[in-house]
Amino acid sequence: MNEVGKVIHYYSGIGVAVVKLSKKLKVGEKVQFKGTTTDFEQEVASMEIDKKKIQEAKVGQEVGLKVADRVREGDAIYK
């Protein structure tokens, strides 16, 4: 598994993680969130930049991902 980014913020009310990407990411790919107390897999169902839905994000972009469970700042994302 390769690291694709890190969680830089989490909105608990709407279940969205803001992720800074170190690799490309596409809607439909399976990812794993891993941290001290976080460890779950999910498919990327929706991804947004500035409240606009996107299908693919590039290296260095900060994207909002709808997440199935709570994540924390600093958690890593792998695919």
Mean pLDDT confidence for 14-40:
97
CB burial readout 22-32, b (16+ within 10 A) else e: eeebeeeeebb
What is the DSSP code (8-state) at residue 23? S
- The percent of residues in the chain predicted with pLDDT above 90, rounded, is 99
Please name the residue that has the structure tokens 């409240």: 51
pTM exceeds 0.75: yes
Enumerate the β-bridge partners of residue 5: 21, 77
Q: What percent of the chain has pLDDT over 70?
A: 100
Whole-number average pLDDT of the chain: 97
Mean pLDDT of 16-21: 98
Residues in the chain: 79
Q: From CA 33, how far away is CA 72, in angstroms rounded?
A: 10
